[in-house]
A and B are shown apart, each in its own frame.
Chain A
Amino acid sequence: MNRVRLFRICVWGAVVLLAGFLLVSTMLPEPQAPAEASTGTARVGGPFSLTSHEGERIDNQSLTGRPYLVFFGFTHCPEICPTTLFELTDLMSELGADAEKFEALFVTVDPERDTQALLASYMTSFDSRITALRGSSEETETTLRAFSAYAAKVPLEDGQYTMDHTTGVYLVRGDGSFGGTLDMHEPRDIRLQKLRRLAGS
């Protein structure tokens, strides 16, 4: 009886320990590389090819040696996309000539509605150094994959649709390595610092 009881205590003890270990290990954040460190993989910045709102072909080859930031959005977006563009406009105006040392790219995830003409008009509201890019649905898919980003068309009841999409601003250094992301909720000084570092990369 004592042995059975001891055995039970041991088994339950082991179960509790294991459960605790599993709980803690799932709750701990994944070990993450610091924002400034390169991932050393091709997960961000793989091959892509798109057309600018001014009709110019831009691909990862043409960006070789040049730092850039890139983010995904669409014009039927009431909040995040225009806010990101207005905030980048503000930051780039503060950076002045330093902002000429990198490219700022806004890739539409909704090429169906975001025609080149609409994008050309939309972009007049922002810093003229920001370029909008669009491609066929295949080219758009390839670009999303190049940055491990996500976008999906979501049909609505009235025959309209909306887009779910990744919101981060990716920074890619001059040597093509991933330079972390820009978070529009972090202090303005930090964002300026990150962009200055990008400009010098």
Chain B
Amino acid sequence: MSYSNKVAIALSLASITILSSSAASAHDFSAGDIRIGHPWSRAAPAAAPVMGAYLTLTNAGPEADTLVGGSTPLAERIEIHQMSIEDGVARMRPLPDGLEVAPGSSVALAPGGIHLMFIKPARPFAEGDRIEATLEFARAGSVRVEFVVQRNAEGKPDTATDHGGHTP
């Protein structure tokens, strides 16, 4: 391969990297066979003692793995919860054994269902913040991730931003 070809390849790879990192709304992390898609958390009200966080887990391996927990310097702890609404009543329960991801399958942690819950955040999460955290898997071990803080699942700002009350 000629020198100029190598340069061309290197340049195109670099431009791909720049393009993908500028797509702020999509970010992935992986460890072993586990891929963690777009971890995000909600912009929190002032003094909110808890905050929900979401992501998608994909297991490309031949064996099941289990998300058993996580931690972040920005909250007292991270728990795995399931919520449901039945007959107009909302219920939330911890998943003490963690969340299993079967081989070759995906599990979405999303509003209205399973979520991670940040307990006692050190400060309110403001839109655009990135929250560093470590997730623990039974097989894949520890994975460092970053939760991006969004106002809603779509990551679209709404007209409520003016009233957001995020003190600088």
Residues of A within 8 A of B (CB): 75-80, 82-83, 85-87, 89-90, 93-94, 113, 118, 121-122, 124-128, 150, 154, 156-157, 162, 164-168
Contact = CB atoms under 8 A, between A and B. Distances in A.
Nearest to B86: A164
B34 interface: no
Contact of A86 (B51, B89, B124, B160): B160
Interface of B: 42, 44-52, 81, 83, 85, 88-94, 96, 111-112, 115, 117, 124, 151-152, 158-160, 162-166
A150 B88 CA distance: 9
Contacts of B52: 78-79
Interface majority SS on A: helix, strand, loop or mixed?
mixed
A200 B128 CA distance: 38
A124 B164 CA distance: 8
A164 B48 contact: no
A89 B124 CA distance: 18
19 contacts: A75-B49, A75-B50, A76-B50, A77-B90, A78-B117, A79-B83, A79-B115, A80-B90, A83-B152, A86-B45, A86-B151, A86-B160, A89-B163, A124-B165, A125-B44, A125-B164, A126-B163, A128-B163, A166-B88
A93 B159 CA distance: 8
Contact of B45 (A80, A82, A154, A162): A82
Contacts of A87: 160
B111 to A, nearest CB: 6
A164 B89 contact: yes
